[in-house]
Structure 1
Amino acid sequence: MKILQFVFGISAFATTTSFSTKFSFVMNCPNKTLPVSGIVDYPFAVDSMNQMIPRCDGTMQKLYVSGDFSSDAEFYVAVGVLAFLYIIGAVALYCYFSHMYENNPLVPLVDCASHVLFAILWLAGSSAWANSLTNLGMATSVNNIIGENPDLCKPKMCIGDREPNYAKLVISVILGFLNVFLWASNLWFLYKETHYFKAKTQNQADGTNPMGAA
């Protein structure tokens, strides 16, 4: 289970931080055509792109794109990184300090509680990032960008050429919800290692044992 959490955890935040896509449109000036393009990448604070593009009269103007989706993206990545570090620590605990897990009842309890926390964090991060990704797609659509730059693109002057492709980020969201399942599904096995479950099992065994009852 830890191997699956490790692989899918890295994949979730790596597909987000390494992402980059491009949009473009064409300005039809009276005597020439000017291609305009922009890059959308992590952390997706698209309102801070500060990209200068040429106008038909030869001057330069900043391309305006609204929206800042960096907070949800960074939170999602932070959850992935923290989960990655926790897995490394947990594997070291299982492999080299197993006696602590067996002899100290607090260690299994903390491990189980940590998995509950990470399952909640993955759910919150994935949900927030999925919502921001939807808004990011709308904000960076070529038609929306053209509409937000009326001084640059007069009516029917700019024509869309290339829409940004967010397929890789959709995969990152799916991986996030898959991590929710992986961390939550591991809770039962961790709960069985806590003294609460062992004490309950022992009490049930004593209650059904005739000699114990006598």
Structure 2
Amino acid sequence: MDLNLPIMMTGFRLNLLPLKEPLGFIKLVEWLTAIFAFGSCGGYSGRNVISLFCGDGKNETLNAQFHYPFRLSQVPLIEGNTTICNRSVSTTHMMGDSASAAEFFVGIGIVCFLYSMVALLVYLGYMHVYKDSDFGPIFDFVITAVLVFLWLVCSSAWAKGLQNVKDATDTEAIGATLALCQGGNVTCQVTEFASMRTLNVSVVFGYLNMLVWAGNAWFVYKETRWHSQKFSSQPGPGRQQVPAPI
């Protein structure tokens, strides 16, 4: 008996044909869209410039630098006790914290990025094993369906978190945070806003990932025995039932 036969049967066999089929091609698209989703969010850094117009005609400038994961309550507007507009001001931080939503979104993106790579490896090298067992397609379908739901949840959470970041970095929120801006002789205004285009793009790619993974779920489902059993149970056109012998 040849003991090497099972190893040869389950060994790596490179086959690029799955990339020409929806099952493999969509996985490649998922890999790319996941990169754009977590990369556009996780690598963000921005700066707002706040101008303070003092009552005596003197102007002051503050910088608010914030970045992923957007723990704005730890971002200082004023560090240490200092004098601004002839008023003593203590250390002041921005308000808000969107870290949980941002980290959840990036985490799901990284998980999908890694899973897409593993799935592509299986499709291109172990498709003969994948199709010869019930476990592979069913496991793939369940994970894909779960990730569709997680993309919906994390994208919605991050969309709300991003809006909170925008609200916390606008003129009204900054003015409410700085005590000296609440006096009648000092006017505070954000005169230079950080561009948040990449963050807006990350939300778009989040929902795009949800749609792509939802489409992929159908093609993965077609590989499961559930679909094959349903298809085989349907009588074909023109097929007649043979009466049982008496």
TM-score w.r.t. the length of structure 1 is 0.90
Unaligned runs of 5+ in 2: 1-25
C-alpha contact (below 8 Å) 1:23/1:162 kept by paired residues:
yes
C-alpha contact (below 8 Å) 1:206/1:212 kept by paired residues:
no
Cα offset for 1:31? 6.8
Residue 173 of structure 1 aligns with an amino acid whose one-letter code is V
Match for 1:92 among 100, 118, 121?
121
Identity of aligned residues (%): 27
**Structure 1 stretch displaced more, 199-208 or 168-177:** 199-208
Cα offset for 1:169? 0.8
Match for 1:114 among 143, 147, 152?
143
C-alpha contact (below 8 Å) 1:23/1:142 kept by paired residues:
no
* Larger Rg over CA atoms: 2
Residue 34 of structure 1 aligns with an amino acid whose one-letter code is E
Cα offset for 1:128? 0.3
Distance 2:143 2:112 in 1: 10
Q: Which residue of 2 aligns with 1:134?
A: 163
**RMSD (Å) for aligned C-alpha atoms:** 2.2
Match for 2:47 among 16, 22, 39?
22
Cα offset for 1:206? 6.5
For 1:104, what is the secondary structure of its paired residue? coil
Cα offset for 1:64? 2.5
Q: Which residue of 1 aligns with 2:104?
A: 75
Cα offset for 1:59? 5.8
Structure 1: 4+ residue segments shifted above 6 A: 211-214
Unaligned runs of 5+ in 1: none
Cα offset for 1:147? 1.8
Q: Which residue of 1 aligns with 2:34?
A: 9
**Structure 1 stretch displaced more, 162-171 or 82-91:** 162-171
Distance 1:153 1:19 in 2: 31
**Structure 1 stretch displaced more, 179-188 or 52-61:** 52-61
- Counterparts of 1:31-110 in structure 2 under 5 Å? 32-53=58-79, 54-56=82-84, 57=86, 61-110=90-139
Counting matched residue pairs gives 214
